[in-house]
């Protein structure tokens, strides 16, 4: 299991006027594309000789509402880190 602090979230977006509102809509209008995106994220670094990436949660894609919650949680954590309320010597913050 990967430490939550080591997760590297990826967010996929579509144009607002695309009429795609959820994963079901995306899959219907782009058959097989989501699986291709997952494979790309898993293998992209292998071309540089690095290990294959692991997609956590059994390759699950989160809903819009879950994604917004993840963004909010990460934003709050980042703000606390910037304010010095969280100490993590492994993280670099540029000024």
pTM for the model stands at: 0.71
For 73, what's the count of Cα atoms within 13 Å in the CB-facing half-sphere? 9
Q: How far apart are CA 55 and CA 36, in angstroms?
A: 13
| 2 in any annotated domain | no
95 contacts: CB under 8 Å, gap ≥ 6: none
Q: How far apart are CA 72 and CA 55, in angstroms?
A: 21
Expressed as residue numbers, the domain containing 81 is 31-87
- State how many domains the chain has: 1
| 9 in any annotated domain | no
pLDDT digits (tens, 9 = 90+) for 7-65: 788 888 889 898 898 889 999 999 999 999 999 999 999 999 999 988 888 899 998 89
Q: In Å, how far from its chain's centre is CA 69?
A: 12
């Amino acid at each position: 299991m990967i430490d939550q602090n080591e997760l590297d979230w990826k967010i996929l977006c579509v144009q607002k006027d695309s009429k795609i509102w959820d994963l079901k809509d995306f899959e219907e209008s782009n058959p097989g594309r989501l699986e291709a995106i997952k494979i790309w994220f898993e293998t992209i670094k292998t071309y540089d000789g690095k290990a294959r990436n692991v997609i956590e949660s059994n390759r699950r894609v989160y809903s819009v509402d879950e994604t917004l919650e993840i963004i909010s949680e990460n934003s709050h954590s980042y703000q606390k880190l910037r304010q010095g309320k969280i100490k993590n010597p492994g993280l670099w913050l540029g000024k």
